[in-house]
Amino acid sequence: MAGRTADGLLGADDPAPVGLFNAAGPSPFLLIGDHAGSGVPAALGDLGLAAADRGRHIAIDIGVHGLGHALATLLDAPFLHQYYSRLVIDCNRDPEQLAAIPAVSDGSRISGNEGLDATARAARVAAIHAPYQAAITATIAARQAVGRATILLSLHSFTPVMDGVARPWEVGVLHWLGRTDFAQAMLDALRTDAALAVGDNQPYRMDATDHTVPRHAFAHDLPYAEMEVRQNLIGDAAGQHLWAQRLARAAQTAAARTGYGSNAAAGGL
């Protein structure tokens, strides 16, 4: 599907910013992937980055695209995700903040993001950030209109080492305000496997820097959890499938324990 936009940022051969897999999935889970893609609009070239940098964690949540599709299949849930790189614009940041279009990330200079004027920034918001957030809003509204429950499950991944410090967690559950009971139940469900290193608001604490979950889960009083899986564990299809199974079991257990899972798909688990 072409992604042409009136502002000209996305050309006829650029993909649309939003991907939606298994749109009709009947389960209460709605999966989202803010950083699942690494695409760059043709008009922006390579953002001044080498290919190696464009494949690093600074550009994409490694493994989330495959993990999201595998998990959506197991849960029979929709997976709505972003196609373009977080370095073009970070859809999990307030677009008014400078951090939404970083000029430096984990020591790498992004020269294509330097010195952008208001018009250039607004073009990225209009072409990518706004349609992605609007798609989430519309999907939640459509589910509410037919009386379908929604548990928002946001999928992210994290690098094993940051600033020279190793991160021991294999998976983290992030939460902040609103209906945190589902996230707490996810923590409990994952921790039944004593072999897993499960972080509570690790390796990041959800706070006001996050944009997507606060914007949609808090505003609509939805149960939610933001999941962080260590990238070296989901870098290939085998790891993605294994972690999809783990997350599906935990999510269904958490939904049942919190009373949100009455129409959860069995998923064969």
The predicted structure's pLDDT at residue 267: 35
SS3 229: strand
What's the confidence (pLDDT) of residue 7? 56
Report d(CA 34, CA 60) in Å as an integer. Answer: 9
Q: In 10 A of CB 262, how many CB atoms? A: 9
DSSP state, residue 125: I
Let me know: does 101 contact 124? Beta carbons within 8 Å: yes
The whole-number pLDDT of residue 177 equals: 98
Tell me what pLDDT residue 138 has.
98
- For the chain, domains (ranges, CATH) are 18-39+55-93+131-258 (3.40.630.40)
Give the tokens for residue 1.
């599907």
* Ramachandran angles phi, psi of 216, nearest 5°: -105, -45
Peptide bond preceding 223 in cis form (omega within 30 of 0): no
Q: What are phi and psi of 15, to 5 degrees?
A: -65, 155
pLDDT of residue 148: 93
Which pLDDT belongs to residue 166? 95
Instruction: Give buried/exposed letters for 19-36 (b at 16+ CB in 10 A, else e).
Output: bebbeebebbbbbbbbbb
CA terminus-to-terminus distance, the chain = 34
Query: What's CA 57's distance to the chain center, in Å?
Result: 13
Split the chain (269 residues) into runs of 10 and give each run's mean pLDDT: 61 96 96 97 94 88 98 98 97 96 90 95 97 98 95 98 94 98 98 97 96 97 98 98 98 96 44
Question: In the prediction, which pLDDT does 107 show?
Answer: 79
pLDDT of residue 262: 57
Secondary structure, 3-state, 127-149: HHHHHHHHHHHHHHHHHHHCCCC
**Structure-block tokens of residue 135:** 């798609």
